[in-house]
Amino acid sequence: MKSKFVPPIGKITKIKGQCITLIGNDIDTDRIIPARFLKCVNFDSLGEYVFKDDRETLKGKHPFDLEENKNATILIVNSNFGCGSSREHAPQALMRWGIKAIIGESFADIFYSNCIAIGIPCLALPKKSILEIQKNKDNKFLFLEIDLKNSLAKSKNLSLKLEIKESSRKMFLLGEWDATATLLENESLIKNKCKDLPYLEFNNYFS
Amino acid sequence: MSQDTLFDKVWDLHKVSKLPGGSDQIFIGLHLIHEVTSPQAFGALKDKKLKVKFPDRTVATVDHIVPTDNQSRPFKDNLAEQMIETLEKNCLEHKIRFFNIGSGNQGIVHVVAPELGLTQPGMTIACGDSHTSTHGAFGSIAFGIGTSQVRDVLATQTIAMNKLKVRQIWCDNKLSKGVYAKDLVLHIIHELGVKAGVGFAYEFGGPAIEALSMEERMTICNMSIEGGARCGYINPDEKTFSYIKNKLCAPKNKHWDKALTWWKSLKSDENSIYDDVIKLDASKVEPTVTWGITPGQSIGINQQIPLLEEFSPNDKLVAEEAFEYMSFEPGQSIKDIPVEVCFIGSCTNGRISDLRIAAKVLKDKKVSKNVKAFVVPGSEKVANEAKREGLDKIFKDSGFQWREPGCSMCLAMNSDKLIGNQVSASSSNRNFKGRQGSPSGRTLLMSPAMVAAAAINGKVSDVREFIK
């Protein structure tokens, strides 16, 4: 395995790194991490199993096995990436392999919110730009600097305007993507909400 | 932006605050947990030195990893045993109600919660499982979440989320004989595509939806996520209320009257505004079967697998991938494709009505000798009711194996798996590459009735020929 995994923490404003390209639409989370690897009570060992079946099928030729990609941190994908199962094991496996940000045409909803919740920005680019990056023979050596303040990705010759939900962008800039503490701050509002909800009284199942 | 839909009403009712980043903080009325996506969340609580805020608003069962042949403990699979033990320990420690194996109420979380009466109109429901959309059949707003959000719900009973847009899917007319809710939802996903629902909640309505039973409505909402929609729902009506009445956790006596009054007020207004509206003719839907590697790649039983040039440029890439993986030919008929494994079960189609329909097809018939067929009831309650009605005997007499409740070969986290590139006819929800446990296994999704017909003939068949 590669260098020791260090989870992201606090404000995320810039991510610099080498790109790794994965071609295909509708790549589901079963492919990112097959179900048999979900038999675990922590996420620690998932990195080595990312895309396990796809990689075995391609016998060393999968992008995640190529020597030139081993230090890549920015994943470039097509549309509806991460569809299917809600398993957070999928972004956790990508993160533990080394991915720090994903740029794609579009992302499935649950996968997207799982990524935000663990500190992986998912950024959108139009199909045309993604295809250009993917077709570029030099992309294996493409280094990008993602600037979340200005929603830009830059390299020596490129400057790409990225799209990201404003709420997600702000959560990264404020360092509030790990939402628990922020949610807990509203403890009194949560208590008040309980009084508003008409059903808590009759739907107090087991009392 | 949508206005005055059921989704808007339930969302607004549960909104606790607007967070600094701009998303909403939403109160979760019912939180369901299981063994696969909760252990890391409990671990995170421990790391953060937090407690479960509302232990009585979380309910647990065990479903994904349970064996369906021999459920005696300890499980043969050490990892599976470790997972159930961790859930038992976490529930005990945090005083969470847990429906364990043998309780009479264990089963697939999305089968169990409705049959206990936990699922009710107007609630927000979350679970670390994408098929949580199932509960929308009752007019609740229900969606899958990841483990970090499971942690947030445990710690605060709320999550941070952006409000979804609302698309109404209006289904005119009625399904014809031999065509089921599963066929309708596969048809909808085919028509709209697997990513159309991203950013949306789907509201299913119209005469064809109103005519469905509650269990059929669950099948529809269950597969919203396969169309990309994290949440799908149906406005509640008399069928909804009478399904809930007298269930274990249903409101009783004066609470029932109060609940009913509130539930009856819960629906999209006649002049509510949707972000999008789609209309479909349900009477045109045929028994539907998937041929590819996404749930959108389906055709009617009498159709041919499309030619490559018939796909839009956007769909071509995945179509090529599907042809390579499935080894089917463009233009080939779906009918008569040989199947080797037949699976009836899952949170999509593992309920008692599904078993009744399949048993009706199988009665006095035999499963083809080339087929391994098995049925996995969605819950202990479903299994017990099926036994009471003698359905287990019909299945066994036909050559089906009768198993214990769980998720089983829908995602193959237990020992029920395809071998090599076997073709399975499956009543489950996903035909992704490798989904049913073999990296080269091939899944054809269809209704339980169609799985029964395929089991008898040993090949994809039109169930209408069995129910004339």
pLDDT beyond 80 at A139: no
- Measured between beta carbons, the chain A residues lying within 8 angstroms of B225 are 84, 110
**Residue A140's pLDDT is what?**
60
Confidence of residue A136 (pLDDT cuts 50, 70, 90): confident
**Residue A132's pLDDT is what?**
87
Cβ count within 10 A of residue B401? 15
Strands A74-77 vs A14-21: parallel, antiparallel or unpaired: parallel
- CA separation for the pair B270, B267 (Å, rounded): 9
Q: What residue spans of B174-312 are helical by DSSP H?
A: 181-192, 207-210, 214-222, 238-244, 254-264
Summarised one tens digit per residue, pLDDT across range B35-90 is: 999 999 999 999 999 999 999 999 999 999 999 999 999 999 999 999 999 999 99
**Residue B270's pLDDT is what?**
95
- CA separation for the pair B316, B224 (Å, rounded): 23
For B54, residues 6+ apart whose C-beta sits below 8 A from its C-beta are B157
B370 exposed, middle or buried (CB, 10 Å; 0-12, 13-18, 19+)?
exposed
CB contact under 8 A, B151 and A180: yes
- Measured between beta carbons, the chain B residues lying within 8 angstroms of A50 are none
Sketch the domain layout of chain B as residue ranges: 6-264, 288-465
Confidence of residue B418 (pLDDT cuts 50, 70, 90): very high
CATH topology of domain B288-465: Aconitase; domain 3 (3.30.499)
Q: Which residue of B has its CA nearest to A30?
A: B435
B273 exposed, middle or buried (CB, 10 Å; 0-12, 13-18, 19+)?
middle
**Residue B292's pLDDT is what?**
98
Distance from the Cα of B84 to chain A's closest Cα (Å) equals 10
CATH number of B6-264: 3.30.499.10
- Measured between beta carbons, the chain B residues lying within 8 angstroms of A54 are 433
**Residue A133's pLDDT is what?**
87
CB contact under 8 A, B146 and A117: yes
* Per-position DSSP letters for A74-140, written without gaps between them: EEEE-SSBTBS---THHHHHHHHHT--EEEES-B-HHHHHHHHHHT--EEE--HHHHHHHHH-GGGG
For A6, residues 6+ apart whose C-beta sits below 8 A from its C-beta are none
B residues 299..338 contacting A (CB < 8 A) = 314, 317-318, 321
CB contact under 8 A, B36 and A194: no
CB contact under 8 A, B162 and A79: no
**Residue B422's pLDDT is what?**
98
- Measured between beta carbons, the chain A residues lying within 8 angstroms of B16 are 186, 189-190, 193
CB contact under 8 A, B437 and A35: yes
B125 three-state secondary structure: strand
Read off the tokens for B461: 């068949």
Residues A106, B228 contacting (CB under 8 angstroms): no
In percent, how much of chain A has pLDDT > 90? 85
Distance from the Cα of B287 to chain A's closest Cα (Å) equals 23
CA proximity to A25, closest of B200, B132, B432, B201: B432
Q: Which amino acid is at B247?
A: K
Q: Least CB-CB distance to B144: which of A28, A34, A86?
A: A86
For B291, residues 6+ apart whose C-beta sits below 8 A from its C-beta are B297, B298, B299, B305, B322, B326, B328, B334, B444
Confidence of residue A4 (pLDDT cuts 50, 70, 90): confident
Question: Fold identical between B6-264 and B288-465?
Answer: yes
CB contact under 8 A, A110 and B155: no
CB contact under 8 A, A57 and B255: no
N- to C-terminal Cα separation, chain B: 47
Q: Which helix (H) or strand (E) holds B9?
A: helix B6-14
Confidence of residue B174 (pLDDT cuts 50, 70, 90): very high
Strand partners, B60: B33, B98
CB contact under 8 A, B413 and A88: no
- CA separation for the pair A167, A122 (Å, rounded): 12
Look up the ipTM and state it.
0.97
A108 interface with B at CB cutoff 8 Å: yes
Our separate counts of H helices and E strands in chain B read 16, 19
- Measured between beta carbons, the chain A residues lying within 8 angstroms of B255 are 201-202
Cα A47 from chain centroid? 13
Q: Which residue of A has its CA nearest to B262?
A: A198
CB contact under 8 A, A26 and B146: no
A residues 24..43 contacting B (CB < 8 A) = 24-26, 28, 30-31, 34-36, 38-43
Peptide bond into B74 cis (omega under 30): yes
A57 interface with B at CB cutoff 8 Å: yes
Cβ count within 10 A of residue A134? 15
Domains of chain A, start order: 14-177 (3.20.19.10)
Q: Least CB-CB distance to A170: which of B22, B256, B434?
A: B22
Q: Which residue of B has its CA nearest to A201?
A: B255
**Residue A138's pLDDT is what?**
62
A134 interface with B at CB cutoff 8 Å: no
